């Protein structure tokens, strides 16, 4: 089962075939020799690899069928470009290719617009990265990519950063016993005038809280510290800070 869904793109994910390494090696060898049947068996036998990668993108609100299809394109590219003679597992080479294909799809469908020239440079850099990875069976450095493209390192970095997917403030980054910590929980706010909580109302309601909760709210909303910084200062875990903070705020909201 995958997210309580057995079928993705009409494929029964609970019955996907899993190939052994020896089988993959033999099929890859035959595929490179032009054996189309071996190539089809490789694709079918590695769909679980695509499925495992798609799970990394489940919180983006995208259609899972679409992501799975795009991931399959990355898988096919990996199969066609992988060299069995290199001392590396196929999954080690294939996963970055599948991830790269899905990320390109998400960038192309991103509501935030980047200039065409900047986007083209970024895509060329991604293609150069994949080619160098295929040739050397390792992750190339930014310097190597820039040198291969004949560009300055800063231009390549700027182009790649311009197409990085934005992260939602409500994206979970950690979960402990049901207490989820989101990106927004790790962002400090030093602008008291724009704080979403009215300081005067808080000061009136905070008097009824115990000392630990008072200190947590004071550090979080008056000093602008992150939950991680508060946890370090008080000497408890970030998950505990999150739990105490949420409980205190709920009590304050009811009093206000």
Contact partners, residue 172, CB within 8 Å, separation at least 6? 59, 180, 181, 182
Predicted confidence (pLDDT) at residue 145 exceeds the cutoff of 90? yes
Q: Which comes out higher in pLDDT, residue 93 or 114?
A: 93
- How far out from the chain centre does Cα 9 lie? 22
Predicted confidence (pLDDT) at residue 4 exceeds the cutoff of 70? no
Predicted confidence (pLDDT) at residue 14 exceeds the cutoff of 60? yes
Q: Which comes out higher in pLDDT, residue 61 or 128?
A: 128
Ranges of CATH 1.10.10.10 domains, the chain: 172-255
pLDDT at 203: 63
Nearest Cα to Cα of residue 12 among 42, 48, 39: 48
Beta bridge partners of 180: 175
Contact partners, residue 123, CB within 8 Å, separation at least 6? 104
Q: What is the DSSP letter of 137?
A: S
Using CA atoms, how far apart are residues 236 and 230, in angstroms rounded to an integer?
9
Average pLDDT, the chain: 78
The mean per-residue pLDDT over the stretch 26-42 comes to: 88
Using CA atoms, how far apart are residues 241 and 243, in angstroms rounded to an integer?
5
What is the SS3 assignment for 176?
strand
pLDDT at 146: 92
* Distance in angstroms between the alpha carbons of the first and the last residue of the chain: 45
The mean per-residue pLDDT over the stretch 169-181 comes to: 58
Predicted confidence (pLDDT) at residue 192 exceeds the cutoff of 50? no
Q: Which comes out higher in pLDDT, residue 245 or 193?
A: 245
Q: What is the DSSP letter of 2?
A: B
Nearest Cα to Cα of residue 73 among 92, 99, 91: 99
| CATH class held by domain 172-255 | mainly alpha
For residue 51, what are the CA distances in angstroms to 7, 24, 96, 101?
11, 18, 14, 14
Angle, vertex CA 43, rays to CA 38 and CA 49, nearest 5? 140
What is the SS3 assignment for 88?
coil
pLDDT at 202: 57
Options 1.10.287, 2.60.40, 1.20.120, 3.40.50; CATH for 7-162 is 1.20.120
Using CA atoms, how far apart are residues 123 and 100, in angstroms rounded to an integer?
10
Q: Which of 78-92, 109-123, 144-158, 196-210 has the lowest mean pLDDT?
A: 196-210
The mean per-residue pLDDT over the stretch 159-167 comes to: 70
pTM for the whole structure: 0.44
Using CA atoms, how far apart are residues 249 and 231, in angstroms rounded to an integer?
17
Using CA atoms, how far apart are residues 224 and 189, in angstroms rounded to an integer?
4
Ranges of CATH 1.20.120 domains, the chain: 7-162
Nearest Cα to Cα of residue 244 among 204, 221, 210: 210
Q: Which two tokens stand for residue 2?
A: 């995958």
pLDDT at 201: 59
Predicted confidence (pLDDT) at residue 232 exceeds the cutoff of 90? no
Nearest Cα to Cα of residue 1 among 51, 71, 38, 46: 51
Q: How does residue 144 score in pLDDT terms, banded at 50, 70 and 90?
A: very high
| Among 97-111, 149-163, 171-185, 197-211, the range of highest mean pLDDT | 149-163
Q: Which two tokens stand for residue 213?
A: 């909760």
Evaluate whether 242 touches 236 at the Cβ level (below 8 Å): no
Q: Which two tokens stand for residue 120?
A: 């083209």
């Amino acid at each position: 089962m995958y997210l309580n869904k057995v079928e993705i793109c009409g494929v029964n994910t609970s019955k996907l075939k899993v190939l052994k390494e020896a089988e993959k090696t033999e099929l890859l060898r035959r595929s490179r020799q032009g054996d189309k049947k071996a190539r089809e068996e490789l694709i079918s036998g590695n769909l679980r690899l695509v499925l495992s990668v798609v799970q990394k993108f489940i919180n983006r609100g995208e259609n899972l069928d679409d992501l799975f299809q795009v991931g399959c394109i990355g898988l096919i590219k990996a199969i066609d470009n992988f060299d069995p003679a290199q001392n590396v597992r196929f999954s080690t080479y294939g996963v970055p290719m599948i991830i790269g294909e899905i990320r390109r799809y998400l960038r192309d469908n991103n509501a935030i617009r980047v200039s065409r020239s900047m986007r083209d440079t970024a895509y060329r850099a991604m293609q150069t990265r994949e080619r160098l990875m295929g040739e050397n069976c390792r992750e190339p450095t930014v310097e190597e990519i820039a040198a291969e493209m004949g560009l300055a390192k800063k231009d390549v970095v700027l182009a790649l950063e311009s197409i990085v997917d934005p992260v939602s403030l409500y994206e979970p980054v950690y979960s402990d016993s049901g207490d989820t910590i989101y990106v927004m929980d790790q962002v400090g706010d030093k602008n008291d005038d724009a704080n979403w909580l009215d300081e005067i109302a808080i000061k009136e309601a905070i008097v009824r809280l115990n000392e630990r909760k008072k200190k947590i709210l004071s550090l979080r909303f008056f000093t602008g510290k992150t939950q991680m910084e508060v946890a370090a200062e008080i000497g408890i875990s970030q998950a505990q800070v999150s739990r105490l903070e949420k409980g205190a705020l709920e009590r304050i909201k009811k009093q206000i």
